[in-house]
Structures are given as structure tokens and as C-alpha cells.
A and B are shown apart, each in its own frame.
Chain A
Amino acid sequence: MIWVAWRQHRKQALIETGIMAVAALLLLLSGYQMIHVFKSSGLAKCLATAGADCGDLRDSFTNHYNGYQFMVPLFLLAPVLFGMFFGAPLIAREIENGTHRLAWTQGVTRKRWMSMHALMVVGFAIAGSAALAGLVTWWSHPLVSASGGGRFAPGIFDLRGIVPVAYTIFAVMLGLAIGALVKKTLPAIGLTLAGFAAVRVPITLFVRRYYLGAKTAMAPFGQFKGPHLIMGQPWVISQNTIDRLGNIVARGGGLNFDYLATRCPGITPPSPVPGRVAKPAVDAVQSCIDRLGLHLSTMYQPAHRFWTFQWIEFGIFIALALVLAWFVVARVRRLA
């Protein structure tokens, strides 16, 4: 039975292993080089020093590795590749070729056949995605440090820790379920990609922030240089400028000059055409801000919640995978 599962999937397994080996080699080579620059340029030391201004070092580093920065999101697709090339075809191809009628009429029950194949594929996917997640975490850490966003930021959070493994298990189960439903390999592969995105993207963008109640930090406007009020590298969900009563004056943490102009005489909005009207004097603006009691309000998830969030997201995707597994077993029982 194990031999059969291996014989059937070995081609894809070898191809996928080959792709991962090439990716790993590229990551190792570029990673060592990047870490060397990260250290030798003094950026690593600067970032480790509290309160140091690393702006120039940071800019030159990120400019130099701009191309790599764009590669980071590509790794978000790694889990779904397992779903597309191992999950989706597993049942769909059998039915497309009619070989399920051969496989399911041998001396092994369908349930056992299904479990053996699923275990082999899921096991392979777990090993592959865990190895890749470790490598990508190591490789991307200079980029993540230099960008200042931290490991909790959406898109970075998704590439490290335990969630890539959960995404992968979910993707494989989704592929199996869609394959068992549409019974055609190519449409199943396409729908697996679409379905994976349809679940992952909204969870990352809209659901994850609510796993635990977000915290809010307040600071008088203008004295707030960065999230230094907040320990570590939190996930900043939103920043708004608010007045004394808590009304939002400007979204995104900027200033609304139209608002200031109506309340503080002597302040005129800066003209879109440069040179026509003088910029409002900095002092006048600051005194207006102080008079109105403007504050910068930052909603964030504290850095120490990183692993809690990892486990919550892990649990969500494993639960989804279990529901899909149940569906696959029920569906396979009724296929002929």
C-alpha cells in the first residue's frame, strides 16, 4: 500500500523536491551574501542599539535588496503549490482515468486507500513546508529587520512559525476535496488556487486582527516619533489623529489642514501649487495642535502576542482542514 502510494506520487514528489532544492540553494546563496552585507554595513549593530537613527543605512540596504523584497510574497504561495500538485490531482486523476474502479476493487477498502494516500501526501507536504518556512525565516530576517515592520506584520507573520504548516495541510485537504467534487484534474488545480486565496486573504486582512482585542496607545500629536511607546515590534493595525473628544480628525496619523484652518486663525492649507502661498509656520501649527489637544491614537496587537496569534491561526486552519477531511471521506464513499 505504501509502495503503491509512493509509486503513484513519486514523479510529482521528485519534481516538487527538485523545485524546493533549487529554491533552497538560491535562498542559501543569496541569504549568506545578504547577511554578510547586513552585518558588515553596520546596519545589524545599529538596529540592535536602542534609540539609534539607522535611516541612511536602512535606506541603502533596502534599496540594494529591493528585488529580494519583492520575492518575499512569492513564498506565500508555497503552501498552495502542495494543494495544487498533490491534493487536487489525487482523487480527480483517478476518476478522470477511471483507475479508481481498479484501485477500489482490490483487497483494500476505500477508506484505507484514501488514508494511506492522504497521509503520504500530507506528510510530504508538512516536511517540505516546514523546511521551507525555516529557511525563509532565516533568509528574510535582514529584510524584515531593515524594513522595520517586524515579524507580526501581515505577509511576514504568514511566512514563519507554525502557520505555514497549517496552511499547507489545509491546502492539501482543499485540493483533495475539490478534486473529489469536480473530478477533473485541471479545473481542480485552478479551483484549489482560487479557494485557497479566497480563505487565506480575508483571514489575513480582516479576521486576524480580532483574534484578541487590540490595544490602543495614545500620544500627543507631534511628540510621537514611532511606536516607541509600544514594546518590541507590534502589529500596528491603524493610526488616527483624534481630538480631545476622541473624534477622528485624520486617518492614517497625518494632519488635516482644512480642519486646523477652520479652528485656528492664521493657518491656511498648503497650496497644491508650490510657491503660491507660504506654508503654515511650524510654530503656529504646533500651538494649534496643542490648543486643540490633538493626539495620535495607535491601535495595535502587542509583539508578545505573536505566538498566541500563531497558535490561533494554526488552530483555525487545522480545523478547516479537518472539516475538509471529513468531507473527502464522505464524498469518496459515494463515488463510483
Chain B
Amino acid sequence: MNALEASGLGKHYGKRWALENCSFELPAGSIAGLVGPNGAGKTTLLHIAVGLLEQTSGSIQILGEHPGDEKVLSRVGFVAQDTPLYKAFSVADMISFGEHMNPSFDVAFARERMSRLEIPFDQRAGSLSGGQRAQVGLALALAKRPEILLLDEPLASLDPLARREFLQTLMEGIVDTGVTVVLSSHLLTDLERVCDHMMVLARGRFRLIAETNDILKNHKLLIGPRERAGAISGVAQVLHQSATDRQATLLVRTNGPIIDPSWMVNQASLEDVVLAYLDSRSTADASEHDLHAVREVAR
């Protein structure tokens, strides 16, 4: 089953397309990183997925339902960018808020998390540190016991230590629950360690959607002669190239083993690949290809 599924999804504000012709399927249970530079359309996509925004074109389903429907609202956990909380509420009030706003809300779970993180119940939400705020927001979303959890830039305002702690508590919180997670970030390094799926978005279009393992398996860094004679067997597409006086470095997508002895084959880092896709101008075929790869996995 797909936790999130879109076809031809588009959204424009005035004349500007924030999201254009996006199609993807995200299998249930995946932990997906939604990566892209600021303004790529990540927030727009997440807002459509949770029912805050209505798309302009195409369709999207979350847990098999139309986003924002009463049936699905309580099954979706969402933490918006900057983790909005009612400033005048105490932490205990925020937990009561969750309890009163949801048909089932695990109060004990939320309280236990707060105690463990040493966040005082009587502290006003407005005076929490950035890290504590993010933790309260996450606890509220997790206590809904959602089937899918969407977090919009949860790490953006956190210092490196708090980032690590946040990701750690997130992973603890979802272990053995089978919940699908979508985390957005403009920094890939934040997500690399935890995500098994990557969704790369730039200027409103998907550049790459694939399993992290497949990305690493299907992309290589080749070092070889500066002058290239014809196509290299096993290379489907050259994503990026740079050259010195003596040799060329190619980042390629492969479709088979590369046995040409004139090329030294190295492992490409996830960051290299994602950056190459973010840079690439025409990537329609690439995303088509990888969409296919995701579909295969989904089966």
C-alpha cells in the first residue's frame, strides 16, 4: 500500500507554479527525505498532503484518502515549519490541547516523553528553547499515534547537538510502529543517516525519487581520460562532469556494470548525486526512470 500517492499534482500562486506535474508513490513504512533548496515547493507539497492547501491540478491521496478529510485527519501527524505552538499555553496545556483535538491521543506517551527530555510541564510554550519546542511538537504529533508523520523542516532552527537529539528521539519514537515518515530539509546531510527514500525537489518539480540504496547502487563516480571516445558501456546518463588537464571526473547513472578499463569506478556519495540532480536542467527522463524504480519497490 502507498502511504502517499500523487499524480500530475500542481499548485500555482498567481502565475508562478510552486509545484508542477508531480507524480510519485511512497510505500507505507518508508522514511522519506524531501530535499530541495528553499522555495523548491517542499512546504507546498506537505501542506497539500495534510489538507491545509488545495492543489490547482492533479490528485493526491494520503493513506488512500483525500487530504483533510475527517476520516484521515486523525491518522496523520504533522509538524509545520518552525513548530507553531500556542505561546501562552504551558507544556501541560499543549498536551491537553492534543487530547481534546483528537479522537485518540496517547496522553501518557506525550507526558512520558516530556519527562524523559526534562521539559517542565508548567513551562510556557513561548519560553521553550528551539530544541524543546521541536520536541514538544514532535511529541504532540507522535501521541496521535499516526500512520504517517510529516515534518516540515524540523531541523532548520536547531543547533547541531539538538539536531542529533531530535533525530534520535524521532527514530526511537517510531521504532516498531511501521509509521511512514516524510521529513523535509534543505540540507541533505540532516537526512542521509535516517532516510531510506529520497525525494529531490527543485523549482517545483521532482528531480529524483528513489530508494537511498538504489541511488547509491545506480550512481557512480568515474575517473578517466580527458578525451572520451564514444559512449561508455553501462552508463545511462552523465549527470555532471568536471575536468583537470589530465583527467575527467564523471558522475553517472548506470544501467549495467562498467567494465571499460580506462575508467576507474568509485562509489558516489549521496550528496554528490542529489546535488547533481538539483543542478541538472532537463531531468524529466531521470525522474521518470526513478519513478519506475520506486514503483518496482512498491510491488
**Bound-state Cα–Cα, A11 to B89, Å:** 11
Whether the Cβ atoms of B101 and A106 lie closer than 8 Å is yes
Chain B residues with Cβ below 8 Å from A109 are: 68, 70, 73
How far, in Å, is A106 (CB) from chain B's closest CB? 4
A residues near B52, Cβ cutoff 8 Å: 101, 104-105, 336
Please tell me if A107 contacts chain B, counting CB pairs below 8 Å. yes
Q: B78: CB under 8 A from chain A?
A: yes
Which residues of chain B are near A110, meaning CB under 8 Å? 68
> How long is the Cα–Cα vector from A109 to B72 in the complex, in angstroms?
10
A194 shortest CB reach to chain B, Å: 28
Is the pair A336, B144 in contact by a Cβ cutoff of 8 Å? Answer: no
Using an 8 Å CB-CB cutoff, how does the interface string of A239-263 with B read, 1 for contact, 0 for none? 0000000000000000000000000
5 intermolecular pairs with C-beta atoms under 8 Å apart: A4-B97, A102-B140, A103-B101, A105-B78, A107-B101
- Does A232 sit within 8 A of B, measured CB to CB? no
- Please classify how large the interface on chain B is, using the bins under 10, 10 to 19, 20 to 34, 35 or more: 20 to 34
* Complex interface: chain A residues within 8 A of B82 (CB): 98
Q: Mark B66-87, 1 if CB is under 8 A from A, else 0.
A: 0010100110101011101111
* Cβ contacts under 8 Å, B144 to chain A: 106-107
* A276, CB-defined interface residue at 8 Å: no
Contact of A97 among B51, B87, B100, B103 (CB under 8 A): B87
B138 at the interface (CB under 8 A from A): no
| Chain A interface residues toward B at CB < 8 A | 1-4, 7-8, 11, 97-99, 101-110, 334, 336
Query: B interface vs A, CB < 8 Å?
Result: 47, 50-54, 68, 70, 73-74, 76, 78, 80-82, 84-89, 93, 96-98, 100-105, 137, 140, 144
- CB-CB under 8 A from A103, the residues of chain B are 101
Q: Which residues of B contact A8 (CB under 8 A)?
A: 86
Cβ of A107: which chain B residues have Cβ within 8 Å of it? 73-74, 101-105, 144
Please measure, in the bound complex, the distance between the C-alpha atom of A101 and the C-alpha atom of B47, giving whole angstroms.
Answer: 9
Name the contact of A99 in the complex, choosing from B85, B102, B103 (C-beta under 8 A): B85
Picked from A1, A7, A102, A336, the residue with its CB within 8 Å of the CB of B84 is A102
CB-based nearest A residue for B78:
A105
Distance, CA A105 to CA B70, complexed state (A): 10
Which residue from B53, B85, B93, B104 sits with its C-beta under 8 Å from A102? Answer: B85
A3 to B105, CA, bound (A): 15
Which one of A11, A98, A108, A336 contacts B101 once the chains associate, using CB atoms below 8 Å?
A108
Once the chains are docked, how many angstroms separate the CA of A141 from the CA of B157?
Answer: 61
List of B residues within 8 angstroms of A7 by Cβ: 89, 93, 96-97
B96 / chain A contacts, CB cutoff of 8 Å: 3-4, 7
* Residue in chain A with minimal CB distance to B75: A107
| Contact yes or no, B87 A4, CB < 8 A | no
Interface of A is mostly: helix
- Contact across chains for A106 and B102 when beta carbons are under 8 A apart: yes
Q: Give chain A nearest CB distance to B86 CB in angstroms.
A: 6
Residue of A nearest to B50 (CB): A105
Interface centre among B73, B80, B93, B100 (most CB of A within 10 A): B100
Hey, which chain B residues are within 8 Å of A2, CB to CB? 100
Find out whether the CB atom of B100 lies under 8 angstroms from the CB atom of A4: yes
Q: Which residue of A lies closest to B83 (CB)?
A: A102
Task: Give the docked Cα–Cα distance between A4 and B54 (Å).
Answer: 26
Question: Taking the nearest CB of chain B, how far is it from the CB of A336, in angstroms?
Answer: 4
What's the minimum C-beta distance from B233 to chain A, rounded to whole angstroms? 50
* A-B contacts besides A102-B80, A107-B102, A107-B144, 6 pairs, CB < 8 Å: A4-B100, A105-B50, A106-B102, A106-B144, A107-B74, A109-B68
Q: Which residue in chain A gives the minimum CB-CB distance to B70?
A: A109
Q: Which of A1, A99, A105, A108 contacts B51 (CB 8 A)?
A: A105
**B216 to chain A: closest CB distance in Å?**
34
Query: Cβ of B100 and Cβ of A1 under 8 Å apart?
Result: yes
A165 to chain B, nearest CB (A): 29
Q: Which residues of A contact B97 (CB under 8 A)?
A: 4, 7
CB closest chain-B residue, reference A112: B70
Of chain A, the residue at the smallest CB distance from B53 is A336
Q: Which residues of A contact B100 (CB under 8 A)?
A: 1-4
Smallest beta-carbon distance B153→chain A, Å: 12
Please, which residues of chain A bring their CB within 8 A of the CB of B84?
97-99, 101-102
B76 nearest in chain A by CB position? A105
Q: Which of the listed residues B50, B78, B97, B103 has the most CB atoms from chain A within 10 Å of its own CB? A: B97
Taking the nearest CB of chain B, how far is it from the CB of A334, in angstroms?
A: 7
Which B residues are CB-close (under 8 A) to A3? Answer: 96, 100
- Given A101-B80, A102-B80; A108-B85 close (CB under 8 Å): no
| A-B complex: 5 closest residue pairs judged by Cβ atoms | A107-B74, A106-B101, A107-B102, A101-B80, A98-B84
